[in-house]
Amino acid sequence: MAKKEQQEQAPAFQRIKDYLLKEVQAGTWKEGDAIPSEQVLAKEFGVSRMTVNRAVRELTTEQILTRIQGSGTYVAQHKYQATLVEIKSIADEVRARGHQHHSELHQLVEAKPAELLARQFKLKQERKLFHSIIVHFENGIPIQVEDRWVNPDVAPDYLEQDFSRITPNEYLMVAAPLQGVHYSIEAVNPPKQIADMLQIPVKEPCLVLHRQTLSLGKVASVVTMWHPGNRYQFAGNF
């Protein structure tokens, strides 16, 4: 039987699934791109939305696509690793070492950013952003202060998350599929507020990671992560 005839005899949901997968693999839709809505696909293929939903649901389970409630369906990101720093949750890092992770939430608000920060997000200064400050612990010892600003356009439910159960990184990897990242690392002495959170003297140097992530064609978050220099190191594979 000819290949075309086999495709025509395949169930409708499978034909839609194959079409979506082919477009992703061909690069028609890249990581973070939105795919056509279920309504558009149903009309194009002459099927019910339920049929389209099955195809999309299976590709989501297979991590080819990702759904964001109230926004749409997007091409999922592959595991992303920068040249030096892999984008992953600090909770996963701690658990991978066989240790216990917990966190303390110090701030979770909607606030107006400073002018420099607003420019990083390419937004007008009067626009408000979400701001969180969280201290992460490994076996009861503070190892990171995460000072993060988030764009409400890509993560509208950020303030509603329980960050004692999930890290901001874990939430954003689902809510805002990663398209790109810019980062820098420096060693500096912490201000008193950060030193107090990390339970270190202000004269003890910290490794500080500044990172900007991109998603859905926008700047999704800008985060500064402070690590005690004597308790933390960055590593990567080349």
The whole-number pLDDT of residue 221 equals 95
pLDDT tens, residue by residue, 98-121: 889 999 999 999 999 999 899 999
| Topology of the domain comprising 90-228 | Chorismate lyase (3.40.1410)
The whole-number pLDDT of residue 126 equals 81
* CATH for the 3-75 domain, from 1.10.10.10, 1.10.3720.10, 1.10.150.120, 1.20.1250.20: 1.10.10.10
Query: Is the model's pLDDT at 81 over the cut of 50?
Result: no
Q: What are the extents of the domains in the chain?
A: 3-75, 90-228
Query: What gap in Å lies between CA 165 and CA 72, rounded to an integer?
Result: 25
Per cent of the chain over pLDDT 90 is 52
What the block records as the tokens of 103 is 């966190």
Query: What gap in Å lies between CA 145 and CA 230, rounded to an integer?
Result: 15
For the question of whether the overall pTM of this predicted structure is more than 0.95, the answer is no
| H or E element at residue 4 | helix 3-9
- The residue length of the chain stands at 238
β-bridge partners, 221: 150, 213
Q: Mean pLDDT check: name the lowest of 2-11, 135-144, 215-224.
A: 2-11
Q: Which residue has the tokens 């690793």?
A: 81
